[in-house]
Each structure stands twice: as structure tokens, then as C-alpha cells.
Amino acid sequence: MSLILSIDTSIENAFVCISQNGVLIDSISNNIQKEHAGFLHRAIKELTERLKIDLKNLSAVAVTAGPGSYTGIRVGLSTAKGICYALNKPLICINTLELLATEAHNHSEKNQLNLELFCPMIDARRMEVFTALYDDNLNQLEPPSAKIVDANYLSEKLNSKKICFIGNGSDKLKNIINNQNAYFFRPNTLEMTITALAQQKFDISNFTDISHCLPIYVKEHQSFTL
């Protein structure tokens, strides 16, 4: 039996959730980004008390390691590492862009949209985004990077493939691009998706060494606010 605490404070909507054997049990969220740091510990305490779960009985802790808000990433990752270190639990790190791409892929399959490429985007101020590109099997075609978007972004690929743009950074592109192959999607929640990804990694013991775990900043040591 697996009991996993998952944490995401990397983007504008933060949440903590607990799952058992890959099934989401309960979650608490916060949509005020400036309050993520104060929200996180209170939410973990409230959630475990509500479910009558002792942290020492966790099987693992999963956390988004970035890219995203510089402060948010540090808050989530330091909390997850602290719990794992104190209780000798395995740590599961999830790339925020992979989480968004998986959510978009699930949305495409559920609604039979036949989308072919998935481009998660996280706002990084002005016209810059943190982004990557995945195919319809969620293989990474382009690694996480910071890019400036304009009306010609991925235009060659859009001429032949249907691309799903997901995340708050995609709003920048939505306002300037005009292509029938561009599909824009903003998820309401990511708890079910992070639960599935965490369970997949747990099942194959894909854990991260706590002492060598680093945030995925993309733009090293640059602080910004979404």
C-alpha cells in the first residue's frame, strides 16, 4: 500500500493532496500566490488531521521542483525535503512542465481532441515563458527553457500539427497567434494528475536523493513573480 503526500507551490495555484494507491483522497488548495509560503504548512497539518493520518505513515512525498515561481519552488521543495529527511521517507520530484503536459494529454484523450503536440507554458514576466515540448506519447521533444514568444512561435509545427498550449504562460500566445491548429487549455486542478505521476514514479522506485536534489529554475537564481 502506498500513501503519498504531494505538494505543488510552483505556479499560481498551490495545493497539497494525499493519495492512497494512486487514488486521490483529499486536497487543500490556495490561489493567492503571495500566501503560498504561509499556506503550505498549515494545509499539510489540516489535511493530515482531517484524514487522521500521521506523517510518519507516509510512503513518500512528491513535489514539483520547477520551473515556476522562484520563491514557490524553494518553499515546496524545502518543505518536502524536510519531511523526507526527518522521517526517512523517499522523495519524488516532478517537473512542473511535465505535470502540465500530462494534464493536457489527459484532457485531449478524454475529449477525443486528437492533439499531437503539447506545449506547457509558465509565465516568466513580459513576453517570456518557461516552456518545453512533448509529443503525443509525452516524450520530451524540447527540454525546459526560457523563451520569448511572438506571433510566429512554433509556426512551422503549427502548419502541420495540432498543438495544445497549456498553463498561465499560454495566455501571452493566445492573444497574438491566429492558427486553427493552436488549442489553448487552462486546467482548473492538477491534483489528479500529480497523484498519477507520483504513483508511477513510486511504483518503479524513481526517487530523488535528498542531498543532491536541486530546483529546476531554468534561469538560475533569478527571482520573479507570476
Show contacts of 133-141: CB within 8 Å, 24+ apart: 134/98, 134/101, 134/105, 136/105, 136/108, 138/98, 138/101, 138/102, 138/105, 140/98, 141/117
3-state SS string over 161-178? CCEEEECCCHHHHHCCCC
CATH number at 139 reads 3.30.420
Enter the pTM of the model.
Answer: 0.92
Model confidence pLDDT, tens digit, residues 145-167: 999 999 999 999 999 999 999 99
Question: What pLDDT score does 224 carry?
Answer: 37
Q: Do 43 and 127 fall into the same domain?
A: no
Rounded mean pLDDT of the chain? Answer: 92
Q: Do 162 and 208 fall into the same domain?
A: no
Q: Do 57 and 17 fall into the same domain?
A: yes
Q: Per the structure, how many domains does the chain have?
A: 2
Residue 218, domain member (yes or no): no
What values do phi and psi take at 161, rounded to 5? Answer: -135, 150
Q: Do 34 and 69 fall into the same domain?
A: yes
Domain that holds residue 20: 3-96+188-212
The percent of residues in the chain predicted with pLDDT above 90, rounded, is 80
Model confidence pLDDT, tens digit, residues 38-90: 899 999 999 999 999 999 999 999 999 999 988 999 999 999 999 999 999 99
Q: Do 150 and 198 fall into the same domain?
A: no
CATH number at 76 reads 3.30.420.40
